[in-house]
Copies of this chain bind each other. A is one copy, B any other.
Amino acid sequence: MSTTPVNLALTVDRSSPVPLYFQVAQQLEHAIETGRLEPGSRLGNEIELAGRLGLSRPTVRQAIQSLVDKGLLVRRRGVGTQVVHSQVKRPLELSSLYDDLLAAGQRPTTSVLRSATGPASAAVAAALGIAEGAEVVTVERLRSAHGEPIARLLNHLPVGLVRLETADLEATGLYRLMRAAGIILHSARQTVGARAATAAEGALLSESEGAPLLTMERVSFDDHGRAVEYGTHIYRATRYSFEFSLLVRP
Task: Determine whether the beta carbon of A86 is less than 8 Å from that of B212.
Answer: no
* A94 in the interface (beta carbon within 8 A): yes
Task: Determine whether the beta carbon of A247 is less than 8 Å from that of B186.
Answer: yes
Residues of the B chain whose Cβ atoms lie less than 8 Å from the Cβ of A172: none
Task: Determine whether the beta carbon of B194 is less than 8 Å from that of A214.
Answer: yes
Residues of the B chain whose Cβ atoms lie less than 8 Å from the Cβ of A226: 85-86
Residues of the B chain whose Cβ atoms lie less than 8 Å from the Cβ of A249: 91, 93
CA distance in complex: A92, B224 (Å): 21
A189 with B225, Cβ < 8 A, contacts A195-B212, A212-B194, A237-B195 known: no
Residues of the B chain whose Cβ atoms lie less than 8 Å from the Cβ of A84: 186-187, 221, 223-225
* A44 in the interface (beta carbon within 8 A): no
Residues of the B chain whose Cβ atoms lie less than 8 Å from the Cβ of A194: 194, 212-214, 237, 241
Nearest chain B CB to A43 CB, angstrom units? 15
| CB closest residue in chain B, given A70 | B249
**B-facing residues in A165-209 (Cβ within 8 Å):** 185-196
Over the window 61-90 of chain A, the binary record of Cβ atoms lying under 8 Å from chain B Cβ atoms (1 yes, 0 no) is 000000001010010100000001110110
* A6 in the interface (beta carbon within 8 A): no
Q: How many copies does the complex hold?
A: 2
| CB closest residue in chain B, given A129 | B86
CA distance in complex: A104, B69 (Å): 29
| CB closest residue in chain B, given A190 | B244
Nearest chain B CB to A225 CB, angstrom units? 2
Task: Determine whether the beta carbon of B39 is less than 8 Å from that of A188.
Answer: no
Task: Determine whether the beta carbon of A246 is less than 8 Å from that of B92.
Answer: yes
Task: Determine whether the beta carbon of B221 is less than 8 Å from that of A186.
Answer: no
Task: Contacts A86-B225, A188-B248, A212-B237 known; list 16 others, CB within 8 Å.
Answer: A40-B225, A74-B223, A84-B187, A84-B221, A86-B187, A86-B226, A88-B221, A187-B247, A187-B248, A188-B245, A190-B243, A190-B246, A192-B241, A193-B214, A193-B241, A212-B212
Lowest 3 A-B CB distances belong to which pairs? A85-B225, A193-B241, A194-B194
A-B contacts, 14 of them at CB < 8 A, read A85-B225, A88-B221, A91-B187, A91-B249, A187-B246, A188-B248, A190-B243, A190-B244, A193-B237, A193-B240, A194-B213, A194-B241, A196-B212, A212-B213
